[in-house]
Structure 1
Amino acid sequence: MSVFDSLFHPVFPKVDADGILLRMPQAGDYIAWRDLRSRSRAFLTPWEPMWGPDELSRRSYQLRIQRYRQDARERTGYTFFLFDEPGRTLYGGATIGLIRRGVSQSCTLGYWMGEPYAGIGLMSRAVEALKHFVFDVEGLHRIEAACLPSNERSIRLLERAGFRREGYARHYLKIAGRWEDHYLYALLADEHVPRKGRKPLLAANLASAAS
């Protein structure tokens, strides 16, 4: 862990649930992140914004870290890496973004999974933990998500997690260099029924993230 991480990591959220760990990215995660994204490039790029020429560079990663920490301090968004429970193997990532307070009390959910770990239920577990984080910790009312109509795996994940399809947005996001239509999904706090078993554990003081 770098000096910067040791100074600032304690104010950021960490969620431990169902054999997985969700925590904010740290400087020391760069190699694992770069290698997993590189190995999974062909798997990921059809579903993501076009990668830049420096997408996997250390400098690009450092800029991401700065943005993630700023969002967390302002409580406008939280980016997590998904690990095994000891925190040694990086599986993928998820973001709770565009947090809106006031009369909205809503956010968006995004996620990615490294190809070697896709399709074995890890992201489903992560989404369940993040539902608890959003509704019970952050106190929000609504989680929104969007996915390509062709992304059957993501559609199944959202619907298994209780999300309802609410609409169809034309040319909603620019994916792989093209404006693409998306299905729009949402889950409300009063529709959230936690699965039986161990609840996610929050291992940081969320109130301090706003300081």
Structure 2
Amino acid sequence: MAFLRSISPVNTNPTIRGERVLLRVPTLADHPQWAKLREDSRSFLAPWEPVWPADDLTRLAFRRRIRRYQREIRNGTGYPLFIFSPDGETLLGGLTLSQVQRGVAQSAVLGYWMGLPFAGKGYMSAAVRSLIGFSFDTLQLNRIEAACLPHNTASIRLLERVGFRREGYARRFLCIDGRWQDHVLYGLVRDDPRP
């Protein structure tokens, strides 16, 4: 059956142009801008993310991160992308398709973060919409899943705005901000209508 075959990654260095955003694979040259945006957004991001390692913003840790990203893309198991302004100059945030499953599943998990100066301005909606197209049209996935904290109203609005449907509730699902926390589960399948 054709839909069960293993699909190799189309491109190991995807660049996706969307409305108001450019998505591309991170490089070592992005470290200064990434570290500054993450540091400047630390208190904004901390409630929604795992605890950062002490060396998280260092160049060495970023180099390890880039190596892991390259391995995931090469293996077709993940697609970490940075979100830039359309000219590719200003880093806005990041998003990742991780845990890419082939075979009978053809699915992936979506995660994302946005720098504080750019939050609430529609950039993440544009980025997620672009990644949805890439996921279904280029990677030929059938399903994308996402999870967010029940009190993260901005993330819930984002997921629902781009077409995800609430599918469940997972108790103590992920360790976020140093605590095991419940999450609301969302899903989007290829045939779902998208706004």
- Does TM-score exceed 0.5, indicating one fold? yes
Counterpart position of 1:46: 47
Cα deviation, residue 192, structure 1: 4.6
Cα deviation, residue 55, structure 1: 1.1
Aligned-pair identity in percent equals 52
Q: 1: distance between equivalents of 2:155 and 2:179?
A: 19
Q: Which runs of 5+ in 2 are unaligned?
A: 1-10
Q: 2: distance between equivalents of 1:114 and 1:150?
A: 19
Counterpart position of 1:108: 109
Secondary structure in 2 matching 1:145: strand
- Asked if the contact 1:172/1:179 (under 8 Å) is kept, the reply is yes
Q: 2: distance between equivalents of 1:55 and 1:12?
A: 24
- Asked if the contact 1:141/1:189 (under 8 Å) is kept, the reply is yes
Instruction: Provide TM-score, normalisation by structure 1.
Output: 0.86
Counterpart position of 1:180: 181
Q: 2: distance between equivalents of 1:19 and 1:42?
A: 26
Q: 2: distance between equivalents of 1:70 and 1:151?
A: 31
Counterpart position of 1:131: 132
- Asked if the contact 1:71/1:77 (under 8 Å) is kept, the reply is yes
Cα deviation, residue 19, structure 1: 2.4
Q: Please say if 1:117 is aligned against 2:118.
A: yes
Larger RCO, structure (CA 8 Å, separation 6 or more)? 1
Instruction: Provide TM-score, normalisation by structure 2.
Output: 0.93
Counterpart position of 2:25: 24
* CA deviation string 1:59-99 (max 9, x = no partner): 11000000000000001000000001111000000000000
Secondary structure in 2 matching 1:162: coil
Alignment-mate amino acid for residue 187 of structure 2: A
Counterpart position of 2:167: 166
- Asked if the contact 2:20/2:123 (under 8 Å) is kept, the reply is no
Q: 2: distance between equivalents of 1:20 and 1:160?
A: 17
- Asked if the contact 2:18/2:130 (under 8 Å) is kept, the reply is yes
Counterpart position of 1:63: 64
Alignment-mate amino acid for residue 116 of structure 2: E
**TM superposition outliers: structure 1 runs of 4+ over 3 Å:** none
Q: 2: distance between equivalents of 1:46 and 1:17?
A: 28
Secondary structure in 2 matching 1:169: strand
Measured on the aligned residues, the alpha-carbon RMSD in Å equals: 1.0
Q: 1: distance between equivalents of 2:180 and 2:76?
A: 29
